[in-house]
Structure 1
Amino acid sequence: MRLLTFLVGLMVVGLPVFAQETSDSSAATADHYIADNLFIYMHSGPGRNYRILGSVEAGLPVAVLETNTEKGFTEIRDPDGREGWVESQYLIDTISRRTQLPLLSQRLADSEQQLNRAQSRTAALNKELAQVKQQNTQLQAELNQAQQSVTALQQQVGDQDAQERYRMFSYGGIVAGAGVILGIIVTFIPKRRRRNDNWM
């Protein structure tokens, strides 16, 4: 009876050592996460029959210290520095939704800030565009007025040139007519006789 008790005691003590010897060692990495929507127990050894050290919440990043593929357990270190064994099926190598949530929230906040800045910039550009359009309209109106003034001045100059040419033509006709009349009058004026200085 004592021998049987001694053998059972040896098996209980030697089982964790044997399990650790058959485990696959790997470097500690922090790129694994506890699967979402659950929490798992952390054991002191690679099996459910080992003492429970505590629980690990879903989504927490953990560092993988060692993996026992035969037992399906992995030794991890949680963010609090605790080390223990958890079932490998509950470990994932993609970032958990719990970790993604603050990152996505920050990205969303950054995107909203960028959108607000872009909207503010767009509003400022639209305001500047409206001012430029208004200035363009005013300049176009001023240009139309200037063109109308130039056209009116050109018309006035043309009218003055026509009047001046008509005046000069009239003056020329008057002078020419006066010359003709004067010539006719001169022809009818009798010539004075010369005095004959040779008197006998």
Structure 2
Amino acid sequence: MNPLVSEANKWVLASHNQGKIREIGELLAARGIVLRSAADFSLPEPDETADSFAGNALLKARAACRATGLPALADDSGLCVTALGGRPGIHSARWAGEPRDFHAAMNKVNDALAASHDEDRSAAFVCVLALVFPDGTHRLYEGRVEGEIVWPPRGDGGFGYDPIFRPEGEGRVFAEMSRAEKAGLSHRARALAKLMAGEFPDD
């Protein structure tokens, strides 16, 4: 049995994002992990003050672990557009300001690309997962999907920037795929696959 699963079968996900909770929960359930959300414990969302995906993921996971006493999993993820110097990156969720509005954020990405006069539409979805245990140990796992920005937005599924991101080798954007299809390709699924395979990179 995978040693991660045998240590504890109940984890808390340090997120209030229902899309992430559903996506990660479905993947972990198949491996015997019961996932609780931050909302189940009325946990506030900590300020994401780090300057990297890994830093923000660790910040959130450590806060949730301290508050609940359970192993805590947090992800920080975003869309990194080559022609925009990697933006929106760690600012993906709030790219268009508050309240979070991904329709406005997608328009902002398209407008910024047009203003750049750069024909490069390559981009990547990046996810870093941080798993923190009550004894203070932690592990980090990164998943990455290369692709390109398309316009106009397409599809009714997914969430966030899924309607404008087409992964390499696919004719469809993430929002045109079923949840199962996206789960087989997504940056988050790739990070989770590393976690469940017990691939422990150096801290």
- Structure 1 length-normalised TM: 0.19
Bigger Rg over Cα:
1
Structure with bigger RCO (C-alpha 8 Å, 6+ apart): 2
- Higher helix fraction (1 or 2): 1
